[in-house]
Amino acid sequence: MVEHQNETRAAYDGVVELYASLFDNRLETHPFSRAVIGTFAELVRETGNPRAADVGCGPGHLTAMLNDLGLDAFGLDLSPGMVAHARRARPTLRFEEARMEALPVEDRSLGGVMSHYSMIHTPPAELPALIAEQVRVLAPGGLLLVSFFATDGPEPIRFDHKVTPAYSWPVDHFAELLTGAGLTPFARLIHDPATERGFLDAHLLARLP
């Protein structure tokens, strides 16, 4: 796990300013993502526990969006360059460097976790451990929103992402991983891609009983 994470961290450290400039518009051209993030925020607020982690926060644009939507959100990311940018751009918010399999968060403490295309670089065999770690930090009734690239095939597909290699997933297969981790998936949104990459975009909402 460490080797590919080091490669991913180095790759994102090398594109911080470019990446931030591409995504700092808070999804102005991605209406489906905006809608599902808004729904996630509303459901987390309804739990009575507004604490939420933006896991794989990158430059922090969606962490800020979650706070604007009424959550007490903080950002975690593998890339120190992304964390440094996020802190400079949004000094009133909390950002920390962290690995997804060892989140610096107390057990059962969060009302929500958002993983917005942040597990796409994880090899399939290692993904259950990352999902289990996100379940660990959720309070009972807490919500997980995970977004990823989807494929119609029966198995995950490795592809050449513009930053570093990534995987697309069959939506049912990914939902089964969430169920196996103790979550109850209850909503999904699948739509045509907003870019030329060709994979479908998928968003799954799940709740911890």
Per domain, the residue ranges of the chain are 2-207
Pairing state of beta strands 95-97 and 72-77? parallel
Report helix, strand or coil for 105. coil
Q: Is 90 exceeded by the pLDDT of residue 18?
A: no
pLDDT at res. 196: 65
pLDDT in tens, 67-101: 999 999 999 999 999 899 999 999 999 999 999 99
- How far apart CA 206 and CA 136 sit, in angstroms, is 14
Higher pLDDT, 154 or 186: 186
Which of 30-39, 72-81, 142-151, 189-198 is least confident? 189-198
What token pair was written down for 69?
Answer: 């939507």
CB 167 within 8 A of CB 159: yes
Average pLDDT of the segment spanning 56-69: 96
158: left (phi over 0), alpha (psi -120 to 50) or beta: beta
pLDDT in tens, 119-151: 999 999 999 999 999 999 999 999 999 999 999
- Nearest CA among 71, 67, 75 for reference residue 45: 71
- How far apart CA 95 and CA 111 sit, in angstroms, is 18
pLDDT at res. 100: 94
Indicate the fold that domain 2-207 takes in CATH. Rossmann fold (3.40.50)
Burial of 92 (0-12, 13-18, 19+ CB in 10 A): exposed
DSSP state of 30: -
> Does the predicted model carry a pTM greater than 0.75?
yes
